[in-house]
Amino acid sequence: MADTPNRTTYTVESLLAVTVQVFNARGYDGTSMEDLSRAAGISKSSIYHHVRGKEELLRLAVGRALDGLFGTLDEPAATSGRPVDRLEHVVRRTTEVLLTELPYVTLLLRVRGNTGTEQWALERRRDFDHRVAELVREAVAAGELRAQVEPRLATRLLFGMINSIVEWYRPGSPQADGVAEAVVRLAFDGLRA
């Protein structure tokens, strides 16, 4: 407990790190400001010093995941080159963002859309999926993917595989190394020798 930041050292970022753990453990709907205050070890008024309330914390937390995911689409390797290589880059980097921002992406994937912030997060997730499906389409059109690949279905299966990693991945686990590489190789080259 010696490392728990006290009221004066709390920042929005350290508050978010605690918040996202509580949201993932209890669910957003099941978390009260009281729960957050207890978990952070600071008073509710200290929390309100940083944010307007629970929904703003949710927006900041899923926003962090979304910024990471969308950021991959603007990287040079995602914006120039052959569509299939841009797609491969996005698949690899999306997996890496999931691994490095694990609790934030986990929270994003659990959002179901009951509040305005949740609706906004779902819409941005759909936007992201559409951007990737568009890349798949370009790669198919360029003859770089197998002709039978249906872009929307392929995108769903790709993200199904990537997103499922939050179910079992724990930082530092023996399989931590090479997860992104394994995803890319399976998705683009398949398992078969």
d(CA 51, CA 185): 42
CA-CA-CA-CA dihedral for 131, 137, 139, 144, to nearest 10: 150
Per rule CB under 8 A, is residue 193 in the interface with a second copy? yes
Any contact of residue 153 with a second copy (CB under 8 A)? yes
The Cα–Cα gap between 151 and 102 comes to 27
Question: Among 9, 167, 171, 172, which residue sits at the site for a second copy (rule: CB under 8 A)?
Answer: 167
Q: Closest approach of Cβ 185 to a second copy, in Å?
A: 7
Site for a second copy in 56-85 (CB under 8 A): 84
> Per rule CB under 8 A, is residue 138 in the interface with a second copy?
no
Q: How far is the CB of 147 from a second copy (least distance, A)?
A: 7
Contact by Cβ (8 Å): 65, 162: no
- 3, 161, 172, 180: which one binds a second copy (CB under 8 A): 161
144 binds a second copy (CB under 8 A): yes
Using N-to-C axis directions, what is the helix angle for 151-163 and 179-189, rounded to 10°?
A: 160
Give min distance, CB of 164 to a second copy, in A.
3
* Cβ 86 to a second copy shortest distance, Å: 13
CB of 175 to a second copy, least distance (A): 5
Nearer to a second copy, 19 or 155 (CB): 155
Contact yes or no for 42/10 (Cβ under 8 A): yes
Query: Any contact of residue 141 with a second copy (CB under 8 A)?
Result: no
| Cβ atoms of 100 and 164 closer than 8 Å | no
84-103 binders of a second copy (CB under 8 A): 84
Look up residue 110 and give its two tokens: 């659990």
CB burial of 92-114 (b: ≥16 within 10 Å; e: otherwise) equals bbbbebbbebbbbbbbbbebeee
Query: Is residue 130 at the binding interface for a second copy, with CB under 8 A as the rule?
Result: no
Under a CB-based contact definition with an 8 Å cutoff, are residues 102 and 179 in contact? no
Footprint of a second copy on this chain (CB under 8 A)? 84, 136, 139, 143-150, 152-154, 156-165, 167-168, 175, 178-179, 182-183, 185-193
